[in-house]
Amino acid sequence: MDQTDEQVRLLGEDGTLLQHDTYKVELSDEDLCDLYRQLVVVRRIDVEGNNLQRQGQLGIWAPCLGQEAAQVGSARALGPDDFVFPSYREHGVVYVRAGMEVLSVLGLYRGANLSGWDPQRHKISQYSIPIGTQALHAVGYAVGAKWDGAEICAVAYFGDGATSEGDVSEAFNFAAVHSAPVVFFCQNNQWAISVPLAKQMAGPVYKRALGFGFPGVQVDGNDVLAVYAVTRAAADRARDGGGPTLIEAITYRLGAHTTTDDPTRYRTSDELDVWKAREPIGRYRAFLERAGLWSETLEGDVQAEADQVAARVRSTVEDMPDPPLSHLVDHVYADPPATLVAQWRQLEEFEAQFQAEA
């Protein structure tokens, strides 16, 4: 899907600040510079994750290259008590809300942990690997919060491919019927693994919301300021009792779906070049330059922090201990059935053979 007039946009492709009748951004100069820092650091974490997988340190990696503005902008717009339900690609969202807790994500991809973190600590649920299930989880959480009188919203992140799943449509309907304080945030990155958008749907994702009885907004997902403004308005509306909103952020996956995928087999270099020219970080830096906020000092500081974070990511991953075998079932049953205990003993004996041979 190309960029259209339907999309909310506050930054031109050359970094020019645009005006919008509905959506505004009121951030301090410090916050505007901090947005740049987070965009750069998130990209560096993602590149390091990709490199670590290629070197055999991670089993798999789902890159977010090119989607940094959609993730950083939306996460920055949320309140501290809002609850996030991510898919498996929201490394930028996790970094913005939880800082270096993002290392738990890398542990998941390394096989050093099974899920990662305490969801309550930073109000982030575990990564959802099944496609679209987290939309239902978010709605359930939002309805429960509403009944409890909590003034928060839940945010479900998913991709365009997930909107082909029945779970997402069920979530839309239940959220509308119960006026749930939830924001559905779709990162439309144009490809559901190797299936292009044109073979997934005949119309824009955001217009589906009207059919369920709530508003939808399409935003330029590579424009971090527009994403911030649209998400903040939707979250405020949810907390104020206005019910759900569907946000469709038009972006592009510059990398592979995962590191098991080869995108050169299903998309052209010409298409990739078009979206590389629209990538979000260069565009936002151009805005900072026009606003007189960018400097060599800022760039140096940001790149130095990105280097430090990348080094910590690498050293932490390389030093992650293998989990004990019992970790597989430790938290499954409070009182495990006898058949499972017997199977577990057999597995322990099987593993012990290899240790003895070593």
Active site residues: 253, 257, 266
| Distance separating alpha carbons of residues 326 and 230, to the nearest angstrom | 45
The answer to whether the beta carbons of residues 119 and 126 sit under 8 Å apart is yes
- In the sheet with 245-250, reading across from the earlier edge strand, the strands are 83-85, 154-159, 182-188, 245-250, 216-220
C-alpha distances in angstroms, 352 versus 104, 342, 346, 358?
A: 28, 15, 10, 10
CB-based contacts of 179, cutoff 8 Å, min separation 6: 146, 241, 242, 243, 244
The answer to whether the beta carbons of residues 91 and 130 sit under 8 Å apart is no
| Distance separating alpha carbons of residues 18 and 41, to the nearest angstrom | 26
Q: Are strands 182-188 and 154-159 parallel, antiparallel or unpaired?
A: parallel
Q: Give the three-state DSSP class for 220.
A: strand
| Distance separating alpha carbons of residues 2 and 250, to the nearest angstrom | 8
Would you state the structure tokens that stand for residue 256, as one six-digit string? 């592979």
Quickly list H helices, 81-222.
91-98, 103-110, 119-122, 133-148, 166-177, 208-212
| Distance separating alpha carbons of residues 304 and 302, to the nearest angstrom | 5
CA-wise closest residue to 142 among 128, 156, 159, 131: 156
Would you state the structure tokens that stand for residue 209, as one six-digit string? 């919301």
Q: Which residues pair with 2 in a beta bridge?
A: none
